[in-house]
């Protein structure tokens, strides 16, 4: 018996149902020639409408996994011959060493490999998207393109080459996208600090022109306004290091009563911890800190960082799966947002000073 699908998963329900049924076939739970349960039974097992199952089964039939016989039912078909090797370009705008070594790129990369499977040749294009021609390929995956890449992405869309974006999206760009829900994540961080009792907050961010930072700033500031909290915003020139003036501005905010800081990037959060420590403030006794992203080192810094964890492996895997589906047939160009998890550790606590 199939377990119900997750109602909180942002993936469309017919797609979730399709994935579950395909897993049953691939795992051999339903053998070639075997009749699968009726649509009514599948709908009851998965906890969705019969129409949702009907759409999922139709897609399975279109993709050659099942055949439908009027009055008899739906049967698993023999697997078709292996498809020809596909060539997929992965554009990520970083060196190959960074892809394999960084938590962000590395986790996405591993998810992409899992999603593409062994039949696909993956070609790495380390140049920032749009700075040089892409190698010929049957599909393209683009990780975290910047705003200035939009014209190139629009040209790629017009060319008809199947393309999926990972980790960035814009309302005006109609390309299939898999991203984390940065806005909801930042709202969650603000709500967490508010529930701890913090009323005066600071928001530190850099690169506001990027789609993810834009959403994080919007989510945190809107939630703070909704809750009637006092918020000061601090923009840093770089995402990995604070200047002396930026440190001074942050410390001035703390002296004026800020009791919690949300750093909308991992390296920014490390800079905040160091800046507070050098100034003689204790975290979280004097100031609480919440960061964004959760590499292994986040649990090893002092104090261990309370942070937001993106589902990076799942993002890469789903993007690859969507690309393969999109290469075979047209698909709605929806943005799939995956939930981000708050990881409470030792850097955030109720305020102890006015």
Residue 8 inside a domain? The answer is no
Residue 164 domain boundaries: 86-179+312-336
Are residue 129 and residue 245 in the same domain, yes or no? Answer: no
What pLDDT, on a 0 to 100 scale, did the predictor assign at position 82? 45
The arithmetic mean of pLDDT across residues 166-181, rounded, is 88
Are residue 189 and residue 250 in the same domain, yes or no? Answer: yes
Tell me phi and psi for residue 16, to 5 degrees.
Answer: -60, -45
What pLDDT, on a 0 to 100 scale, did the predictor assign at position 165? 93
DSSP string, 142-194: EES--GGGHHHHHHHHHHT--EEEES---TT--S-EEEE-HHHHHHHHHHHHH
Q: Say which DSSP state 248 is in.
A: H
Are residue 198 and residue 255 in the same domain, yes or no? Answer: yes
Domain of residue 106, CATH code:
3.40.50.2300
Q: Judge contact between 164 and 326, C-beta under 8 A.
A: yes
**pTM of the predicted protein model:** 0.73
Q: What is the pLDDT of residues 280-298, one digit of tens each?
A: 999 999 999 999 999 999 9
Q: Judge contact between 124 and 175, C-beta under 8 A.
A: no
Q: How far apart are CA 138 and CA 255, in angstroms?
A: 56
The arithmetic mean of pLDDT across residues 103-132, rounded, is 81
What pLDDT, on a 0 to 100 scale, did the predictor assign at position 159? 78
Q: Judge contact between 87 and 94, C-beta under 8 A.
A: no
Q: Which of 345, 341, 346, 329 is nearest to 15 (CA)?
A: 329
Which range, 150-154, 164-168, 236-240, 283-287, is most confident? Answer: 283-287
Tell me how far apart the terminal alpha carbons of the chain are, to the nearest angstrom: 56
For the cut 90, the answer to whether the pLDDT of residue 85 exceeds it is no
Q: How confident is the model at residue 27 (pLDDT cuts 50, 70, 90)?
A: confident
The arithmetic mean of pLDDT across residues 309-333, rounded, is 82
The number of folded domains in the chain is: 3
Q: What is the pLDDT of residues 195-231, one digit of tens each?
A: 999 999 999 999 998 889 999 999 999 999 999 999 9
């Amino acid at each position: 018996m199939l377990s119900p699908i997750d109602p909180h998963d942002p993936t469309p329900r017919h797609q979730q149902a399709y994935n579950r049924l395909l897993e049953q076939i691939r795992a051999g739970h339903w053998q070639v020639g075997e009749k699968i349960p009726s649509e009514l039974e599948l709908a009851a097992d998965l906890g969705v409408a019969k129409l949702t199952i009907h759409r999922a089964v139709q897609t399975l039939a279109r993709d050659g996994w099942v055949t439908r016989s009027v009055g008899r039912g739906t049967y698993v078909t023999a697997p078709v011959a292996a498809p020809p090797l596909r060539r997929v370009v992965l554009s990520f705008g970083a060196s190959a060493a960074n892809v394999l070594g960084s938590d962000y790129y590395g986790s996405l990369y591993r998810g992409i490999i899992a999603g593409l499977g062994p039949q696909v040749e993956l070609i790495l294009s380390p140049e920032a998207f749009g700075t040089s021609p892409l190698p010929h390929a049957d599909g393209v995956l683009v990780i975290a393109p910047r705003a200035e890449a939009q014209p190139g992405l629009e040209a790629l869309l017009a060319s008809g080459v199947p393309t999926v974006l990972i980790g960035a999206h814009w309302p005006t760009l109609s390309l299939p996208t898999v991203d984390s829900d940065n806005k909801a994540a930042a709202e969650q961080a603000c709500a967490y600090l508010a529930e701890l009792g913090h009323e005066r907050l600071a928001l530190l961010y850099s690169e506001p022109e990027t789609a993810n930072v834009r959403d994080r700033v919007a989510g945190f500031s809107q939630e703070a306004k909704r809750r009637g909290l006092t918020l000061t915003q601090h923009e840093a020139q770089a995402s990995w290091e604070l200047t002396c003036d930026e440190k001074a501005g942050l410390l001035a905010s703390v002296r004026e009563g800020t009791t919690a800081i949300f750093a909308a990037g991992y390296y920014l959060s490390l800079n905040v911890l160091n800046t507070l420590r050098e100034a003689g403030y204790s975290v979280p006794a004097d100031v609480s800190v919440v960061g964004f992203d959760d590499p292994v080192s986040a649990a090893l810094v002092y104090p261990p960082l309370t942070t937001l964890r993106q589902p990076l492996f799942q993002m890469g895997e789903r993007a690859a799966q969507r690309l393969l589906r999109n290469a075979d047939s047209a698909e709605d160009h929806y943005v799939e947002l995956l939930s981000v998890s708050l990881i409470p550790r030792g850097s955030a606590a109720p305020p102890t000073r006015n």
